[in-house]
């Protein structure tokens, strides 16, 4: 049974192009499956999360991160009696618009676009992917996802001003998104904060002592693990402590969101949408833990000198390829040359680069700009 404030699939605002009902899948389940079978979803396997494969094949990429976020989201949504099918679809699609090379690639692509008075936003790019770029069906372009999934793609992590984005007016920009969408940014943080501690430790870029000193919530759990398992190897103690951090974040998101719903007397989806702020949230103590983990990762991992060279290479490759295709648009594939007749060239070049995997963009760089380092 779903809570009254959950999104009921029977009340979905539907698809742009009406389709017959499926005999054994509801519309949100169909959306989930369409995302999983999309080419853009498969490409996530070769897009950097934090570490390239130079470090290890065991570390997260965009695809494995997405799968982990979907698992967390299903658990939290289920505990809150939300629509798990919608929440899972939103988790699976939440990173679809990311370009190659992780945040370094996104930073470089945005900088290149701003030189032309434009910008790059991975959420808006994901919407373009599912509405236009994916071509799998004879009856329409894109994936023809339900309104609720398309709304969640753009609104799960931030609010957009309708005055600045009139093209998004249909997505109820003056209202909060449903709770299923509000969860995604928070479950995303649970996923990558704990995973990046794990991968950073495995890559020997973070030491156990560093983490214990810099992440108080981890230290609290680690001390408890040492008391219970004094003789197990260090890595297993690390795993157990990290599991404690993970459970604290996920459990608090469930209990604190439920507490907030009760406190504000929220009983309907309409009340969720019209509330003055988002209702899904960590409690203040756990929000402090989350912030400390994130600050530690920025200070000790994301800007680590060991990763600086790869980030510089990524930004250079994106910048030089963008410049190349801006000055030599005839070198673009025929499909993108045709798109450039209807849209601005910078946007078309941006779309082409954003869709690339790490491997393919390096191939293109070596072909058009010379050898990569």
Radius of gyration of the chain, Cα coordinates, nearest whole angstrom: 22
CA atoms of 274 and 233, how far apart (whole Å): 51
Helix H or strand E segment including 356: none
CA atoms of 96 and 84, how far apart (whole Å): 19
CA atoms of 310 and 319, how far apart (whole Å): 14
pTM, two decimal places? 0.94
Q: Quick one: pLDDT at residue 52?
A: 66
Q: How many residues does the chain have?
A: 373
* Nearest residue to 49 (alpha-carbon basis) of 199, 170, 184: 199
* Nearest residue to 298 (alpha-carbon basis) of 216, 212, 196: 196
Query: Domains in the chain, ordered, with CATH?
Result: 9-307 (1.10.3210.10), 308-368 (no CATH)
Reduced to 3 states (helix: H, G, I; strand: E, B; else coil), residue 260 is: helix
Query: At residue 269, what are phi and psi to the nearest 5 degrees?
Result: -65, -40
Find the farthest-apart pair of alpha carbons in the chain and give their distance in angstroms, rounded: 67
Q: What is the DSSP letter of 101?
A: T
Neighbours of 152 (CB within 10 A): 30
pLDDT mean for each 10 residues of the chain (373 residues): 96 96 97 97 91 70 96 98 98 96 94 96 96 93 97 94 92 96 98 96 94 98 97 97 98 98 98 97 98 96 87 94 96 94 96 96 94 56
Identify whether the C-beta of residue 197 lies closer than 8 Å to the C-beta of residue 297.
yes
């Amino acid at each position: 049974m779903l809570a009254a404030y959950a999104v009921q699939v029977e009340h979905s605002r539907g698809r742009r192009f009406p389709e017959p009902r499926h005999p054994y899948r509801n519309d949100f389940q169909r959306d989930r499956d369409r995302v999983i079978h999309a080419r853009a979803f498969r490409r996530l396997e070769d897009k950097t999360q934090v570490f390239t494969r130079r470090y290890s094949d065991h570390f997260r990429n965009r695809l494995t991160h997405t799968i982990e976020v979907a698992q967390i989201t299903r658990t939290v949504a289920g505990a809150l009696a939300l629509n798990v099918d919608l929440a899972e679809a939103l988790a699976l699609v939440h990173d679809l618009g990311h370009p190659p090379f992780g945040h370094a690639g996104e930073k470089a692509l945005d900088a290149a676009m701003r030189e032309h008075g434009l910008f790059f936003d991975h959420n808006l790019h994901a919407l373009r992917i599912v509405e236009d770029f994916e071509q799998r069906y004879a009856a329409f372009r894109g994936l023809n996802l339900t309104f609720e999934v398309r709304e969640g793609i753009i609104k799960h992590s931030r609010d957009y001003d309708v005055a600045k984005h009139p093209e998004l007016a249909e997505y109820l920009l003056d209202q909060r998104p449903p709770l299923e969408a509000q969860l995604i940014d928070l479950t995303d943080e649970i996923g990558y904060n704990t995973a990046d501690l794990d991968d950073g430790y495995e890559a020997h870029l973070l030491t156990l002592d560093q983490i214990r000193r810099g992440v108080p919530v981890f230290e609290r759990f680690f001390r408890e693990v040492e008391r219970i398992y004094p003789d197990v190897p260090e890595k297993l103690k690390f795993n157990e402590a990290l599991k404690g951090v993970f459970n604290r974040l996920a459990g608090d998101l469930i209990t604190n969101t439920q507490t907030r719903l009760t406190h504000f007397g929220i009983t309907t989806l309409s009340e969720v949408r019209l509330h003055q702020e988002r209702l899904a949230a960590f409690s203040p103590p756990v929000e402090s833990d989350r912030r400390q983990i994130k600050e530690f990762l920025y200070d000790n991992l994301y800007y680590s000198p060991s990763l600086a060279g790869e980030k510089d290479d990524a930004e250079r490759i994106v910048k030089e390829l963008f410049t190349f295709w801006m000055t030599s648009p005839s070198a673009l594939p025929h499909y993108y040359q045709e798109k450039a007749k209807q849209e601005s060239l910078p946007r078309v070049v941006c779309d082409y680069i954003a869709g690339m995997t790490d491997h393919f963009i390096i191939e293109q760089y070596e072909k058009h700009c010379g050898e990569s380092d």
